[in-house]
């Protein structure tokens, strides 16, 4: 095979060099590159797993947020109902207070009217007495005799009786 230009020593040396290079590359390059790729694959899987966990957590947070919002809305409605009831109760209290005030004012007005009536009667009584005195004075100025006196007494008795 020398006639073909193949040098067996050189070919064997190239084959040995190739296997040495192959062993060196396998030990120092191929294994570290495979390790690095495996590490990267593990990190990617971990990232995907964390992403899925984050998505699950986000869904739970959204559900909790919806529940909290619904509870808040319900509490707000409850507060509004309570406030409305309180306002109605206060309105009733104010109306009952106004009714009581009205009754008190009416009672005070009746008492005042009674007092004014009594004062008017007293005033009329005084005027009647004054008129009686004026009449008596006029009558007394006239000459009194038994017959006139009898007529006056009869007249007064008829008016009183």
Tens of pLDDT, residue by residue over 128-150, are 777 777 776 666 666 566 777 77
Q: What is the mean pLDDT of residues 20-25?
A: 93
The SS3 call for residue 107 is helix
Contacts of 52 (CB under 8 A, 6+ apart): none
Is the pLDDT higher at 3 or at 129?
129
**C-alpha radius of gyration, the chain, whole number:** 63
Question: pTM for this one?
Answer: 0.41
Buried b / exposed e along 121-146 (16+ C-beta atoms within 10 A): eeeeeeeeeeeeeeeeeeeeeeeeee
Distance from C-alpha of 161 to C-alpha of 157, rounded to nearest angstrom: 6
State the pLDDT at residue 157. Answer: 74
State the pLDDT at residue 151. Answer: 78
Q: Tokens for 27?
A: 């030990």
pLDDT > 70? residue 69: yes
Distance from C-alpha of 67 to C-alpha of 45, rounded to nearest angstrom: 33
pLDDT > 90? residue 158: no
Residue with tokens 């230009």: 5
State the pLDDT at residue 16. Answer: 97
Q: Tokens for 7?
A: 């040098």
């Amino acid at each position: 095979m020398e006639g073909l230009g193949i040098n067996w020593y050189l070919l064997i040396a190239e084959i040995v060099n190739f296997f040495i290079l192959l062993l060196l590359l396998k030990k120092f390059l191929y294994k570290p590159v495979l390790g690095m790729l495996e590490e990267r694959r593990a990190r990617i899987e971990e990232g995907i797993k964390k992403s899925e966990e984050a998505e699950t957590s986000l869904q739970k947070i959204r559900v909790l947020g919806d529940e909290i919002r619904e509870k808040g809305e319900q509490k707000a409605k409850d507060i509004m109902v309570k406030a409305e009831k309180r306002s109605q109760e206060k309105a009733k209290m104010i109306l009952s207070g106004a009714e009581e005030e009205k009754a008190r004012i009416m009672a005070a007005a009746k008492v005042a009217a009674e007092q004014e009536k009594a004062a008017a009667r007293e005033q009329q009584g005084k005027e009647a007495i004054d008129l009686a005195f004026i009449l008596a004075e006029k009558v007394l100025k006239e000459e009194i005799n038994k017959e006139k006196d009898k007529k006056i007494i009869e007249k007064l008795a008829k008016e009183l009786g």
